Amino acid sequence: MNASEDEIIAWFESQSKLSAAEFPIGIGDDMAEIQWGEGTSVFVTTDMLLDGVHFELGKATLKQAGYKAMAVSLSDCAAMATVPVAAVVSVALPKGFGEGELKQLHKGITSAGDKLGCKLVGGDITSWHDEQPFAISVTMLSKAKGNKAVRRSGAKVGDVICVTGSLGGSRFGRHLEFEPRVKEATRLAQMVSVNSMIDISDGLSSDLNRICKASKVGAIINAEQIPISDEAKKSENPLGAALNDGEDFELLFTLSEKKCEKLMKAWDGTVPITRIGKITDSKKVEIKAADGKVSDLKPDGYDHLK
Amino acid sequence: MNASEDEIIAWFESQSKLSAAEFPIGIGDDMAEIQWGEGTSVFVTTDMLLDGVHFELGKATLKQAGYKAMAVSLSDCAAMATVPVAAVVSVALPKGFGEGELKQLHKGITSAGDKLGCKLVGGDITSWHDEQPFAISVTMLSKAKGNKAVRRSGAKVGDVICVTGSLGGSRFGRHLEFEPRVKEATRLAQMVSVNSMIDISDGLSSDLNRICKASKVGAIINAEQIPISDEAKKSENPLGAALNDGEDFELLFTLSEKKCEKLMKAWDGTVPITRIGKITDSKKVEIKAADGKVSDLKPDGYDHLK
């Protein structure tokens, strides 16, 4: 593919001509927002996960695949600081998959959803005619409750950039069992006004670039401040893993210096929050190394079309 | 697979434990219903369509595949007599699929949705790592407007059974270009009180059995009254095609004798409505042949798990 995933999505967005009154958030954010009734919105996200790409059946169980498929969409709800309500799931089954496999999958789906109050309300089961691989698509509906939804596009010059948890090395196993930051997201959005947020699905480098592009700002982060996971520390290039591995499903968000101070004081710390940099007016996304050298931070995370 | 699609769905439903106040319609109907705000519900359906199963790329274009994927979900909205509002689409692309392919697909998706006011508001694009086939999943949200949603489970003994259009032979091409009966469904539900409805996706035999099972009633239809499509008439077994081919995406509904008479008088007839039988208290689903012989009408339509 000659175009990147982000370029294709930008083209889809340019074609969409959605009325802002009916669809306050359209294509290009973590979820779309649909005005549903007086003062009520429906937020919606969809994700497709494939055997051999997002998990490998055999190494991973179907329960883990079902869990991950739900958790990825739950993480989109977290990225907007919305509360998941219901999910529908469609699957493409390899020939020969039986009742037992579907029940395992169901266990994974509900174990992810139930914890966060998100119900499985419908679905569609189809089978390949040949030995084609398993695919699962989850669509999730959520609500804003007690706080406004947080978009990618609200970052302001001078904002502090923060992340939850630690980054990198998710592919060594964590990507199958991560905890979507739904409760943390709504809690922090209720404590302070958060200007922009995204979940780190494709890697800090890619997802920070997305925030900056959507917000028309630049950023500089400090390599030394990035919380590197224990798994990533064991790899050849820990910083590279933390920047580009993806599938961390941690929150990346920005807020004013003042709000950040308030948050840091009040935050309970079960899931740590770390300051990693600042939003700038430079239009460039940069990283400052330990030796003080500043270089461009290219979006080198996962691209589904490359 | 030892269990049928309907058996598996019944198991999923039995596990779901949804509160009826929050989720008035759960797993097992054409759409789920979620209570969203005061007096407002969100209806949601999801469908997965696979290359080699629901269409064959090469014979069908990507534009047709995109159209069909949307039309199948639009037909679910019709089955409930609800009005489609928005859709999200996730795709699994074969390696090597490019921008051009995605733009073709987009054309098909929007050409189906735009006609009925249903907007594409989001999606997810993923790629297989190998030469795996194309898959597309559509999730659609709809609203009840000016009429109550119509369920599968409301058929009453004595109801007349009706269908729109004509049945059978869709696989000769119509399945790629059919018109979902969205406007017809809401119009008829606004004209009279419809007791039960479904769209014929897997075949009249299977879908009538579904209405009867959900409504805990029986039915008898008259073979001579079934409107057989021109394509089906050319096949070896026209009646069999009309009963079991599936993918007609016509409406199958039941209503009282009196309401049926009122409807027949007032209906404009652009899309014909035909009476084909009666709901009975026999608990059996039967068909009366031209010679008067009555036999069981087994659900011999398409089963995605057989």
Cβ neighbours of B91 in A, within 8 Å: 48
Do B88 and A45 lie within an 8 Å CB cutoff?
yes
Tokens found for residue B213: 């099972």
Nearest to A129 among B53, B132, B135 (CB): B53
pLDDT value at residue B163: 98
Residues A167 and A89 in one domain: no
Q: Does residue B304 belong to any structural domain of this protein?
A: no
Do A98 and B2 lie within an 8 Å CB cutoff?
yes
Nearest to B42 among A42, A50, A54 (CB): A42
Q: Does residue B302 belong to any structural domain of this protein?
A: no
Residues A125 and A195 in one domain: no
pLDDT value at residue A305: 63
Question: pLDDT tens across B256-304, in order?
Answer: 999 999 999 999 878 999 999 999 999 899 999 999 999 999 998 777 6
Q: Does residue A264 belong to any structural domain of this protein?
A: yes
**Residue of chain B whose alpha carbon sits nearest to that of A97:** B1
Higher model confidence: residue A7 or residue B48? B48
CB atoms within 10 A of CB A234: 12
Out of A110, A143, A176, a domain closes at: A143
Chain B 265-294, residues with CB within 8 Å of chain A CB atoms: none
Residues B49 and B168 in one domain: no
Q: Is A201 touching B (CB cutoff 8 A)? A: no
Residues B103 and B202 in one domain: no
Q: Does residue A306 belong to any structural domain of this protein?
A: no
Nearest to A122 among B46, B102, B123 (CB): B46
Chain A 51-70, residues with CB within 8 Å of chain B CB atoms: 52-54
Tell me the pLDDT band of A31, cut-offs 50, 70 and 90. very high
Average pLDDT, chain B: 95
DSSP A152: G
Residues B163 and B272 in one domain: yes
**Residue of chain B whose alpha carbon sits nearest to that of A103:** B12
Higher model confidence: residue A300 or residue A120? A120
pLDDT value at residue A4: 81
pLDDT value at residue B283: 85
Residues B156 and B283 in one domain: yes
Nearest-angstrom CA–CA distance, B66 and B72: 10
Nearest to B16 among A40, A120, A129 (CB): A120
pLDDT surpasses 60 at B71: yes
> Which are the contacts of B294, defined by CB distance < 8 A and separation ≥ 6?
B220, B286, B287, B288
pLDDT value at residue B79: 98
pLDDT surpasses 80 at A289: yes
Range of the domain at A33: 5-143
pLDDT value at residue B2: 58
Query: A206: closest CA among A304, A76, A74?
Result: A304
Nearest to B139 among A53, A130, A139 (CB): A139
pLDDT surpasses 80 at B105: yes
Global model pTM greater than 0.90 = yes
Residues B158 and B288 in one domain: yes
pLDDT value at residue A237: 95
Chain B 129-158, residues with CB within 8 Å of chain A CB atoms: 129-130, 132-133, 135, 137, 139, 141, 143
pLDDT surpasses 80 at A306: no
Angle, vertex CA B154, rays to CA B25 and CA B279, nearest 5: 150
Dihedral pair phi/psi, residue B60, rounded to 5°: -100, 150
> Which are the contacts of B14, defined by CB distance < 8 A and separation ≥ 6?
none
Interface test with B, best of A137, A138, A145, A306 (most B CBs within 10 A): A137
Residues B244 and B196 in one domain: yes
Question: pLDDT tens across B196-227, in order?
Answer: 999 999 999 999 999 999 999 999 999 999 99
Question: What length does chain A have?
Answer: 306
pLDDT value at residue A2: 59
Mean pLDDT of B151-161: 98
